[in-house]
Amino acid sequence: MTSLVPLGAFIAISAALFFIGVAGVLVRRNAVVILMCVELMLNAANLAFVAFSRRLGLLDERGSVFVVFVFVVAASEVAVGLAIVLAAYRNRPTVDVDQVHEMKG
């Protein structure tokens, strides 16, 4: 099975998305945006999974199946993450992660 778009293009986009996500996590201070960036990284990985799975075709569908698992984990992660952000926001009216450092040793 062949494809019009070469594998390298998928991987390049996946890598780009991933590093945009990493940069977002490192640079941004808004907790909600950080969570969104994490989502971006997860979906970058999903794209890579799907691309490789497509490439291997009928021989191996495990890549596609794994994407479903990642969805579930991502959904859970967002649920927990947003709950934490909400709790922190109720405690003090900010979502700036640099303002929340009670755990400083």
Partner 1 sequence: MIDQVWLIPALPLAAAVVNGLFGRRWLHRATGLVASLALGASALLAIAVFVEVLGAHDARRTVTLYEWIGVGDFHARVSALVDPLSALMALVVTGVSFLIHVYSNGYMEHDRGVHRFFTWLPLFVFFMLVLVLADNYVVMFVGWEGVGLCSYLLIGFWFERPEPYIAAKKAFVMNRIGDWGFTVGMILTFLAVGSVTFTEVFEKVGRVDPTLLTVIALAFFLGATGKSAQLPLHSWLPDAMEGPTPVSALIHAATMVTAGVYLVARSTPLFAAAGPALPVVGIVGAITALFAATIALVQFDIKRVMAYSTVSQLGYMFLALGVGAPIAAIFHLATHAFFKALLFLGSGSVIHATEEQDMRRMGGLRRKLPVTYWTMLLAGGALAAIPPLAGFWSKDEIVGAAFTNGYPILWGIGVATGVLTAFYVTRAMYLTFHGEPRDRHIYEHAHESPPVMTVPLALLAAGAVLSGVVLGFPPEGGFVHRSLEPVLSVERPEQHAEPNYVLIAGLAATSVAAGLAGIAVGLAMYARRRPDPAAVARAAGPIYTLLLNKYFVDELYDHRIVDLGKAAFGAAWAFDIHIIDGLVNRLGWLTALVGSGARRIQTGLVGNYALSIVAGLVVLIAVYGGYATGLLRR
Q: Note the residues at the interface with partner 1 (CB under 8 A).
A: 22, 25-26, 29, 31, 34, 97-98, 100-105
For the four alpha carbons of 29, 88, 17 and 4, in that order, the dihedral sign comes to: negative
Q: Which residue number, 90 or 104, has a Cβ lying nearer to partner 1?
A: 104
Considering the complex, state which of residue 29 and residue 92 has its C-beta at the smaller distance from partner 1: 29
The nearest distance, CB 71 to partner 1, in angstroms, is: 22
The string of DSSP letters for 35-88 reads: HHHHHHHHHHHHHHHHHHHHHHGGG--HHHHHHHHHHHHHHHHHHHHHHHHHHH
Q: Which is nearer to partner 1, 64 or 97 (CB)?
A: 97
